A and B are shown apart, each in its own frame.
Chain A
Amino acid sequence: MQDSASRFGYFVSPDRQIDFDRNNHEVASKVAAAEPGLNWCISCGTCAATCTAAKFTDFSLRRIILQVKRGELKGLAREAQKCMLCGKCQLVCPRGISTRNLILQINRVLQSENL
């Protein structure tokens, strides 16, 4: 509160830009090595449309995949764990991606990198 007052109500907006040059691309290459389906995703969103977790929270497998590919990893480990591994998404993915394995590998790599 006091801080806010000393700034006369102004604050600094955090930079939202994806700084692709600086972002971590290790995670993406490790995930892709374990589950190449990472690179086949066309961001169609069919997975998120069928996902029960996505219906009640703002969890989206489509977005998680994209965040991994762009190296936007902040808060991702927690987000990725919301998946219940039910496998509904795998039934509908038009690119035939093993989506359950993909999210398992994303979880594994994020944890092993302590992210």
Chain B
Amino acid sequence: MSKHVAVVGAGIAGIEAASILNAMGHSITLIEKNEILGGHINHWHQLFPNRRQGRDLLEKLYEKMDDSIQVQYGKEITSIKPFSGKFIVTAADGWVTNADAVLMATGFDLFDAHKKEEYGYGIYDHVITSADLEEIFIQGEGLNPRLGKDPQRIGFIHCVGSRDEKAGNIYCSKVCCITAVKQAIEIKELYPSVEVYCFYMDLRMFGRHYEELYQEAQEKHNIQFIRGRLSEASENKQGGVVVKVEDTLLGKPLKLTLDLLVLMSGMVAPVAVTNMRDKLGLAKVDDGFLKPVDPHTQANLSELPGFFMAGTATGPKTITDTLTDARSAALEIDRFLKEII
């Protein structure tokens, strides 16, 4: 008899793991809280480092999905309980399923930029987040509807809600440096004469071809990188956003006025998942993410046999890393299910 796996979250990690486990002959229920598959990628116009469309990636993943995977939409999981070698998985609307194994592919939430009040999100009209900018790219109408004119100067603020004790998150969100570079280039392609500034603490171009994209941003698009963290933003009479940083490489405070400020919102652990972790008595990390038993060799395993995790549920990851992690989780789950026969 085939074993049943409940995959919680139908973002890219959940979809990838579900496809593989299904192909291995297990019976899969893919549980999604929204009404559509694909998670955050639905709202991402282009992906780094090769600028492919977010849509395109999702379609690739959907192609691999077999119809025998049961998908449950609109199910927000509120409780997962171990019960005589199985798990009882319950949703907010009362829906219940039993599973031999659970995969937490629960992903991340975007940091709520309102919390960095001094940056003016939700207060000044011309302060938006990186996610808002992707939405603007998807709409395809450019920035003019928002600004009422062609922009002349745009600034990107790195590490918003990441690497920040004040925001409660000391970790690096990993994807926002390269996303800022990608978005800056997209802006330059849309408005070639616009001046673009990236304000950073450290530039983390660790991935394959990230450094090349950074170099392209400098060489081909004249995007300027200023090392300094934003202290505060304010609005001038004309609706421009005045930012103050220290240009730490020159050792002097710097002030400039922008037409649009883009905040690179980081990743945070979804509160509901952190609560579930604590209710199950699983190991805690110094943040809300799930903690694997061993960060190198058992990155998808918890202390609870049968309870697995993949993707950004365990912390910020790129798409490439998320998909690799999902496949490795599928292998671990397959091994576990064979052992319990």
Contact = CB atoms under 8 A, between A and B. Distances in A.
A70 B219 CA distance: 17
Interface in A33-74: 36, 39-40, 42-43, 62-63, 66-67, 69-70, 72
Contact of B218 (A18, A20, A39, A70): A39
A72 to B, nearest CB: 7
Interface in A64-98: 66-67, 69-70, 72, 95
Interface in B226-261: 227, 247, 249-250, 252-257
Contact of A18 (B219, B222, B252): B252
B215 interface: yes
B227 A43 contact: yes
Interface string B325-338: 00000000000000
Nearest to B240: A21
A70 B247 contact: yes
B224 interface: yes
For the side of the interface on B, what is the size category?
A: 10 to 19
Given A32-B222, A39-B222, A43-B227, A66 B252 contact: no
Nearest to A20: B256
Contact of B219 (A19, A21, A39, A62): A39
Q: Which of B215, B222, B250 has the most CB of A within 10 A?
A: B250
A63 B256 CA distance: 20
A20 B222 contact: no
B254 A70 contact: yes
Given A39-B218, A69-B224, A21 B252 contact: no
B219 A17 contact: no
B201 to A, nearest CB: 14
A36 B219 contact: yes
A102 B132 CA distance: 39
B255 A16 contact: no
A21 B227 CA distance: 18
A83 to B, nearest CB: 19
Nearest to B248: A43
Contacts of B215: 40, 95
B222 A67 contact: no
Contact of A16 (B219, B224, B253): B253
A76 to B, nearest CB: 12
B219 A40 contact: yes
A42 B203 CA distance: 10
B209 to A, nearest CB: 17
A66 B249 contact: yes
Nearest to A62: B249
Contacts of B227: 43
Contact of B255 (A17, A32, A42, A43): A17
Contacts of B256: 20-21
A16 to B, nearest CB: 5
A75 B323 CA distance: 54
Contacts of B225: 42
A43 to B, nearest CB: 5
A109 to B, nearest CB: 17
A57 B254 CA distance: 26
Nearest to A43: B249
A50 to B, nearest CB: 18
Contacts of B219: 36, 39-40
Contacts of A18: 247, 250, 252-255
Interface string A12-37: 00001111110000000000100010
Given A17-B252, A20-B256, 13 more contacts: A16-B252, A18-B255, A39-B224, A40-B218, A42-B225, A43-B227, A66-B247, A66-B249, A66-B250, A67-B250, A70-B247, A70-B250, A72-B250
12 contacts: A18-B252, A18-B254, A20-B257, A21-B257, A32-B222, A39-B218, A42-B218, A62-B249, A66-B249, A70-B247, A70-B254, A72-B252
The 6 closest A-B pairs by CB, nearest first: A20-B256, A18-B254, A17-B253, A43-B249, A21-B257, A39-B222
